[in-house]
Structure 1
């Protein structure tokens, strides 16, 4: 297996880890939808995550929402979080399929 193959697989694996952390943060936002003054959060951009030193966890930040806040200061909009959850889930499925196909191709080339 060459470096390009392992690099691609590593990036796909990092993408799946990033997406899993993002889904966790979105779930926490939804769980706190009725908590006064709770600020919705999100994870850093994937590109920022890739440029940081290896072994560091995904950075969680306050989310930037165009949807506003409720009267009690809560910044979670369930519709927005539902959209983000669906997008994240779809991206995870795609990344895991691509990872699996790449792994199959490498195994086929290596005769395993």
Structure 2
């Protein structure tokens, strides 16, 4: 009698998926992140525009809003890296690659925001 050895102690990992499904998931996740990012940036821009008429007190509020924007980009970068880590664990290399590209875009945006503040 031949028995198959038990896989005791092995962690479950999903198997590899097709490239099309992998790319579609990565593009979908990038679009979801982009929608949330644009929504937050639009709200912050409208608030800065409204505060621009408040004189010195408004300028202080605008600085606070800019700091919140920079923090939000940091949170998006961390979220994108976390999703990329889950994609690597799930053996979805294209999704992970697209998440890394998305994170690099957030880094560029953060740099542009820092440059615009000066």
TM range (shorter): 0.3 to 0.5
More helix by proportion, 1 or 2? Answer: 2
More strand by proportion, 1 or 2? Answer: 1
